[in-house]
Structure formats: C-alpha cells, structure tokens
DNA sequence: CTGAAAGCGCTTACAG
DNA sequence: CTGAAAGCGCTTACAG
C-alpha cells in the first residue's frame, strides 16, 4: 500500500505531474474512449492519476454537473426495525452503480418531514429519493409524486404517482388463505397491521378475497405487543379461529405469547402463518411457517428505478415478478 | 404551504430580490450577529430569504468551505441486524447538529473497504467517519486511527487510536456474574460471541473476573443458529451449567430452542441471562431477564465526539458513564 | 455599511 | 491534439 498523502490529489496535481493542462486530464479521465488525445499522453495521464490515487472531488464535480452521486433513503422510523433486507438490497445496488446512500428519517410530523426535504433535496445533497415512508396524505409526498425530484415510493404506493415499486402483496394474502384452505381450515383469522399501510391493506384484500368475508379480523401495530393484544382479542372472541395469518414477525412473537397464555397449542389448536420469513422463525416454538417475500430484490429494483429516472427515463410503476412463497415449518397443520 | 418553484432559490436570487450584492446576503445569513449591516438591510435580506425558501446549496458551500455537513457511518454488515438503537442515536444527534448521515458497509474484504474509504473520504463526501466496523487488524483502520480524517471507533476500540467511544462492557460481564452468584448459582457458563469483537471480549473478561475460571465457555456467531449450537454443546458437556450468560438476543432465541430440545426448563433447570435488552425479550418463553445497555446514548456520544474532532478539539477516548442494568424477568431464578 | 474579486475543484464548449 | 476560459454556488478577505 502506497503511503497516503495528507491531502488527496487534485486534478491540478495530476495535470502538473503529467505535464498537461487540467482540461486534458479531465477529458481523458471521464471522456469516452473516442476523445482525441495522443495515445502516449493518454497513457501518461492515466498512469499519473493511478499513481497519485486521484479521485475526483465530489463537491467540485457535483457543483459543475449539478449532480451528487447520492441517493436519499427516507425510512419510516429508525425506531422500528428498518426492514433490513430492503435496505441491504438498496444499499448494495446503489453502491455497485456508483451511488452513495444518505439516510433520512420521516419522523411522522409534517414539520420534520419538511425539514428532511429541505436538508436533502433543497440543499442539493441528493439526486433522487427512495421513499419507504409514506404515511398516506402527507402533503409533502404529493410534491414528490409530482416529480419535483426523481423519486420512487418503495414498498408503498402513492396512488397516481407512477413511481411505485412494490411486491405482490395481494398474492401473499391469497397464498396465505389458500394454504389454510388446503389444510381444511374453515375459521380463518387475520391479525393485520395498521390499515393505512399500503402493503398491509393489499395483503388483507388478497386474504379476504380468497378466504371469504367470514374471516375474523384484528388490526394492530407491527410490534410484539400489538401481536399479543390482537391475538388475545382474537381467541377471546365468540368464534375462535383455527388458523391465523399474522402481519409480521414481531407480531407473531407476541401472538405466540398470547396463545401460550391462553393455553392454546400451535398448531394442534390453532395454525399460525407469519408474513415475511426471517431467520428467527426457525427457532421459535414451534418453528413458524412463513411467507417469504423478495425483499432484497425490492431494494434493488427501487434503486434501479430511481437511477432510471435520474438518467432521464420516464417514471413508471414496477411490481416485482417474484411471487410470494410459503416456507413450511411446524406452526401450521391440517384442521381437525 | 407556498408553491415550490421548480428550481430552488440561489444566493443570487435572494440578492437581486433584496437589491443587494450576494456577498452581503451571505454575510447576514451566516455571519454572527455582529456583522455590520444596516438593520433595515438585514431585515430585508432575512425576509427575502425566508420568502424564497432559500437554503444554501451544499455543493457550493462545501466546495468553498471544504466541508460537507455529512458524516459517514461504517457499519459491519447490513446483513446482520445493524444495532438499530445505536444507529438511531447517532442519526438523531447528527441530524440535530446539522449533519446528514451517509451509509457505508464494511463488507469484510480489504479491497472493498479500500473502496469505501475512497468513495467517502477520498472523494471528499464526508467530514468524518463513525466506524462501527473494525475487524481488528484491517490496515485501513490504522490509517483512520492515525487521524487522516476525523473518526471515532464506535462500540469497538482500536487500541492506541485515542478515538474510542464505548460502553462499560466489562461491567456488564461483572453484573451478569454477580446476578447469578447472588442467586446462588455455582456452575456458570458463558455463551459468548466471536472473541475478536472488542465488546464481546471485554464482557467475557468481566464475567470471568467475577465468576472465576471454572466457568464453561462456548463461543459462537451472534445468530440464532450460533446460539442454538453453542447451547447444545454447553448442556451436552460433562458439567452442565445451571446459569448461562448469552451474548445477544439472536443467540438467546437459538439458545432457548436448544434448551427446549434438550428437555431443560428455564429457569427451573437453567437460568438464562441475555445481553442487551430488547422489546422481544418480554414475549419469549419464558420472558428473558436481560442486561440493558445505553445504546442510544452510545450513538449520541459517538457523534458528539466526532463533531468535536471536526471542530478541532483533540481526539480522546470516551467511555459512557451510564452503567449496565439488569432488567429482571422470568428466565433467571434462585439455584436449587 | 456594502460591493467587487478571487477561488474552492471540477467540466465543457471554444479556440488554436 | 491540447490549452485557456468560463462558470457551477458559495464565502471571505479586501476596498471603498
């Protein structure tokens, strides 16, 4: 490893070392191969740049090009576990395509969202925004949807924006219902998430479509406590279900606790199916049957769509082709 | 809400609207109160800037000031659950102090780390780096430790760097041992994490110091499977422990599964104490007694230390004062 | 009290 | 084939 100089090399350093003008260096460094420079000059410049470890300064370049090489990632709340596979997919793809990811949090209140907008978009820190937030009805989102800045709504649709990247959540709901029906269950229940979440409501719609409207529904926050309380209500009801579809893994852990407390056995007394597969599912009691969604792929697709917009392609909705899949473990069984 | 113009206002826009020179605008906008301008001019400028929703362009400002207003956050791997309270603390504090957080992943191999260095530091995208990564022995880290760029090692010490911000992990180990000892346990075990992690090894040292060297030790990755396998080894050993201190919540879930499979009851047959409290602990079977660490505070302190360096203060180690605390639930009990 | 100039590091027409 | 200039948006001595 060469010793690193105190100050990173500038274009001017490369130019003087190579005995040419900065503009020439700039041209060979990021011009296409067809820029006319004498081959030996080109070689000399390339070699010098490499030797000095030259990298263009992002500020200088950005100022000139009105481009940052950064993408903003607006997540709902760092308080809730960020859906890490999505972030990972997005991060990896962005990095691979030469972009860096800037974190922002949508803290709920409009004032703060306004602030995030200002800091990122308005100060010119990013080229585009990945919005995983999107409480429906936030006026700020309408601005984004209108296309002020390249943006995509990730895992949430903003109706009419034409910038939505999402999964087949409706199909996940159908799949869950079909799984239960195939096992002979007749009293199904849905332990759903907050209905204002787009994914949650599409999943619900899919589930109800297949399962019919006799399904018992309880909705709660996507937390252990939410799952615990909703499940307690569900089994305390008049028509106790024999199979329940739970909105996420946190809820499922809480739901399992509620069932334990109610003295109900899984899957003997009640089958539990969890949305989103996770390593933890395998180690719960009993190991949870789950629906696996293409989360990493979603992050990747979101970034690709965003960069597409940045490069001038027209915005469009994209729904991932990869279908939801059941990962069978031991928490669901034949009705008896 | 005012209609947002297509192009954000520039300094020049404010200047011409207010009928003054850009330099004057700049001076009143970020000069201290004592810059000499006629009060009415100042008011007019302030008013115009507000009306146009002016925010300084980060590139222009950054280029001039050699400052970005961004902090890099180098996390071990997005594959493992990022320690979200730490990130949250860091994010909130950075945001509050006017900095934005840029995500980077230390993907393990040196080549890629070099790449992260180049993209963030070398291209001048950040003012400083929060390193939560730090596989000991990565040569890149020595560069950082040498102070090429402001940086702090967060929740990991880089020996001799004088830039470490960390918690009282040794005390957490002691506390765990004391908890078990106070309950009358004599056959203690440690289900530890990878020993190359600084936190893990300090915790281990603290635990062994109090518990004596008869402690059974198994080390494993910080995953459910790691916990499962290590716990299986532990209870299969010659001298079965009656109390075990587990390195993190993922391991604990796996460990509980292993105990179930071995037919051991918690806490009747064996007490389990989990490092790092988490909402999930309350809903496991049995609810897990845990050690709560000041994770959010750690993120906050890391950012404060980093900004301190950026502002020219000498770097120094800081260890959080907040002590580890036991959150008692039902997985630990009197020895019998 | 305010303006004009220089310059941060780059890229891109435009000359030559 | 290569150089010189202008300009992206800002800030900061320096004049006046």
Q: What is the pLDDT of residues B288-311, one digit of tens each?
A: 999 999 999 999 999 999 999 999
Quick one: pLDDT at residue A237? 81
SS3 label, residue A147: coil
Quick one: pLDDT at residue A2? 42
CB-based contact A1 B139, cutoff 8 Å = yes
Give the model's confidence band at B137: pLDDT under 50 very low, under 70 low, under 90 confident, else very high.
low
Contacts B104 to A, Cβ<8 Å: 100
B135 and B230 together in one domain? no
Strand D and chain A: which residues 37-56 have CB closer than 7 Å? 37-38, 41-42
CB-based contact B123 A57, cutoff 8 Å = yes
The Cα B88–Cα A181 span in angstroms is 42
B162 and B206 together in one domain? no
The domain of A89 spans 68-167+296-319
The Cα B292–Cα B323 span in angstroms is 9
Q: How many domains does chain B have?
A: 3
User: How far, in Å, is the CA of A20 from the C1' of nucleotide C15?
Assistant: 17
Quick one: pLDDT at residue B11? 94
Smallest CA–CA distance, residue A319 to chain B, in Å, is 24
A288 and A174 together in one domain? yes
Residues in CB range of A34: below 8 A, 6 or more apart: none
User: How far, in Å, is the CA of A56 from the C1' of nucleotide C11?
Assistant: 11
pLDDT at B3 over 50: no
Q: Check residues A292 and B149 and name the one with the higher pLDDT.
A: A292
B266 and B177 together in one domain? yes
A325 DSSP β-pair partners: A292
B159 and B206 together in one domain? no
B123 and B19 together in one domain? no
pLDDT at A27 over 60: yes
Mean pLDDT rounded to a whole number for chain A: 90
For residue A30, the domain's CATH number is 1.10.260.40
What is the secondary structure of B184-238 as a DSSP string? T--SEEEEE--TTSHHHHHHHHHHHHHH-TT-EEEE--SSHHHHHHHHHHHHHSS
Quick one: pLDDT at residue A33? 67
The mean-pLDDT minimum among A149-158, A201-210, B243-252 falls in: A149-158
CB-based contact B59 A95, cutoff 8 Å = no
Q: What is the pTM of this model?
A: 0.92
Region A152-171: mean pLDDT is 93
C6 C1': nearest CA residue = B64
The Cα A192–Cα A201 span in angstroms is 8
- Out of B79, B100, B125, the one facing A58 most closely (by C-beta) is B125
B153 and B301 together in one domain? yes
Residue A271 lies in a domain: yes
- Out of B60, B81, B120, the one facing A63 most closely (by C-beta) is B60
Quick one: pLDDT at residue B81? 58
Q: Check residues B265 and A136 and name the one with the higher pLDDT.
A: B265
Quick one: pLDDT at residue A107? 65
Region A274-290: mean pLDDT is 96
CB-based contact B148 A6, cutoff 8 Å = yes
Q: Is the Cβ–Cβ distance between B118 and B131 less than 8 Å?
A: no
CA dist A268 → A218, A263, A315, B174, B285 (Å): 22, 11, 49, 43, 18
The mean-pLDDT minimum among A93-107, B141-155, B263-277, B303-317 falls in: B141-155
Of chain B, the end-to-end C-alpha distance in Å amounts to: 68
Per-residue pLDDT reduced to its tens digit, A52-72: 999 999 999 999 999 999 999
User: How far, in Å, is the CA of B11 from the C1' of nucleotide D9?
Assistant: 7
| Range picked from A4-8, A241-245, B31-35, B81-85 for highest mean pLDDT | A241-245
Dihedral (Cα; B320, B322, B324, B328), 10-degree rounding: -160
pLDDT at B6 over 80: no
B314 and B241 together in one domain? no
Residue A330 lies in a domain: no
pLDDT at B116 over 90: no
Mean pLDDT rounded to a whole number for chain B: 90
User: How far, in Å, is the CA of B124 from the C1' of nucleotide C6?
Assistant: 22
Give the model's confidence band at B1: pLDDT under 50 very low, under 70 low, under 90 confident, else very high.
very low
Enumerate the nucleotides of strand D whose atoms come under 7 Å of any protein CB: 1-5, 7-13
C13 C1': nearest CA residue = A23
A217 and A237 together in one domain? yes
Quick one: pLDDT at residue A5? 55
| pLDDT above 70: percentage of residues in chain A | 92
Smallest CA–CA distance, residue A318 to chain B, in Å, is 25
C11 C1': nearest CA residue = A64
Check if residue B30 sits with its Cβ under 7 angstroms from strand D: yes
The radius of gyration computed from the CA coordinates of chain B, to the nearest angstrom, equals: 26
Residue B2 lies in a domain: no
């Amino acid at each position: 490893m060469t010793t690193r100089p105190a100050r990173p090399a500038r274009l001017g350093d490369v130019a003087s070392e190579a005995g040419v003008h900065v503009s020439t260096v700039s041209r060979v460094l990021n011009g296409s191969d067809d820029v006319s420079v004498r081959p030996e000059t080109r070689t000399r410049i390339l070699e010098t740049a490499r030797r000095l470890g030259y990298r263009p300064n992002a500020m200088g370049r950005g100022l000139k090009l009105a481009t940052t090489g950064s993408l903003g990632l607006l997540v709902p709340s760092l308080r809730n576990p960020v859906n890490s596979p999505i972030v990972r997919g997005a991060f990896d793809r962005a990095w691979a395509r030469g972009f860096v990811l800037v974190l922002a949090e949508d803290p709920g209140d409009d004032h703060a969202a306004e602030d995030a907008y200002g800091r990122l978009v308005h100060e010119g820190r990013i080229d585009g925004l990945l919005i995983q937030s999107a409480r429906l009805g936030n006026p700020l989102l309408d601005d984004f949807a209108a296309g002020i800045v390249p943006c995509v709504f990730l895992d949430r649709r903003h109706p009419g924006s034409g910038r939505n990247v999402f999964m087949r959540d409706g199909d996940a709901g159908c799949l869950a219902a079909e799984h239960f029906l195939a096992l002979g269950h007749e009293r199904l229940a849905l332990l759903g998430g907050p209905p204002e979440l787009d994914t949650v409501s599409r999943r619900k719609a899919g589930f109800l479509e297949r399962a019919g409207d006799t399904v018992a529904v309880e909705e709660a926050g996507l937390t252990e406590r939410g799952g615990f309380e909703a499940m307690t209500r569900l089994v305390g009801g008049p028509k106790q279900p024999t199979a329940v579809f739970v909105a996420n893994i946190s809820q499922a852990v809480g739901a399992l606790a509620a069932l334990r407390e109610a003295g109900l056995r899984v899957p003997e007394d009640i089958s539990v199916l969890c949305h989103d597969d996770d390593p933890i599912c395998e180690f719960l009691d009993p190991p949870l049957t789950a629906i696996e969604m293409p989360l990493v792929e979603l992050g990747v697709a979101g970034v690709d769509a965003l960069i597409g917009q940045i490069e001038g392609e027209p915005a469009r909705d994209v729904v991932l082709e990869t279908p939801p899949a059941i990962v069978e473990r031991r928490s669901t069984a034949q009705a008896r």
